[in-house]
């Protein structure tokens, strides 16, 4: 069993996958979109990734709440993306609070000495890894009983 992690943005979707033991999250790729409202290719690529791994049983999708826990425009678009993913992929999609994951991804890359120009190239994939790793850690700390 594996879990797919996604960081859904207006121009990109960062993708991560868990190992079969659900211990670690690894980056897969960044799906780039030409237009925010055109998602057909994005859904198709996600379906390809899922079928390529074969044993994905759920998706964890970063949920961009505002810092005061309110739901803004980006969160509403994420909810719409979630509903469409569930219809297309026939898998449960869990929304996971992603506040500050992009900041954490940027900080991790700075600490690793990655140059500013190159950070933009990887930030969404690393954010997807952090979203998924947070979920995996929660599963581990609740012995898999809390599927959120």
Q: What's the confidence (pLDDT) of residue 71? A: 77
Q: What's the confidence (pLDDT) of residue 145? A: 57
Please name every residue paired with 58 in a beta bridge, in sequence order, or none if there are none.
Answer: 3
Q: Domain segments of the chain: what residues?
A: 2-141
CA 130 – CA 46 distance, rounded (Å): 18
Residues 6+ apart with CB under 8 A from 113: none
Across residues 27-54, what is the average pLDDT? 89
Q: What's the confidence (pLDDT) of residue 14? A: 93
Across residues 120-126, what is the average pLDDT? 75
Across residues 120-142, what is the average pLDDT? 83
Q: Which fold has domain 2-141?
A: Nucleotidyltransferase; domain 5 (3.30.420)
Q: What is the number of other CB atoms lying within 10 angstroms of the CB of residue 15?
A: 22
Torsion 52-54-58-60 (CA) sign: negative
pLDDT tens digits along 65-116? 767 777 778 889 999 999 999 999 999 999 998 866 666 666 676 777 777 7
DSSP string, the chain: -EEEEEEE-SSEEEEEEE-TTSS-EEEEEEEE-SSTT--HHHHHHHHHHHHHHS-EEEEEEEE---TTS---HHHHHHHHHHHHHHHHH-S-EEEEE-TTHHHHHHHHHHHTT--HHHHHHHHHHHHHHHHHHHHHHHHHHTTT----
Let me know: does 20 contact 74? Beta carbons within 8 Å. Answer: no
Cα 80 to Cα 85, 112, 125, 127, 137: the distances in Å are 9, 35, 21, 20, 26
Residue 148 has pLDDT above 50, yes or no: no
> What is the percent of the chain where pLDDT is above 90?
49
pLDDT tens digits along 15-35? 999 999 999 999 999 999 877
């Amino acid at each position: 069993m594996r879990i797919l992690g996604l960081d859904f943005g207006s121009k990109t979707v960062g993708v991560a996958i868990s190992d079969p033991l659900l211990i670690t999250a690894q980056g897969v790729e960044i799906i780039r979109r030409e237009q925010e409202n055109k998602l057909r290719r994005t859904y198709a690529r996600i379906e390809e990734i899922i079928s390529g791994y074969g044993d994905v049983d759920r998706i964890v999708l970063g949920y961009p709440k505002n810092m005061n826990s309110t739901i803004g425009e980006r969160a509403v678009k994420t909810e719409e993306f979630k509903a469409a993913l569930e219809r297309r992929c026939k898998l449960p999609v869990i929304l996971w609070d992603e506040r500050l994951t992009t900041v954490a991804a940027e900080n991790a890359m700075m600490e690793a000495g990655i140059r500013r120009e190159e950070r933009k190239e990887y930030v969404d994939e690393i954010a997807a890894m952090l979203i998924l790793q947070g979920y995996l850690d929660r599963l581990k700390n609740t012995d898999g009983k809390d599927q959120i």
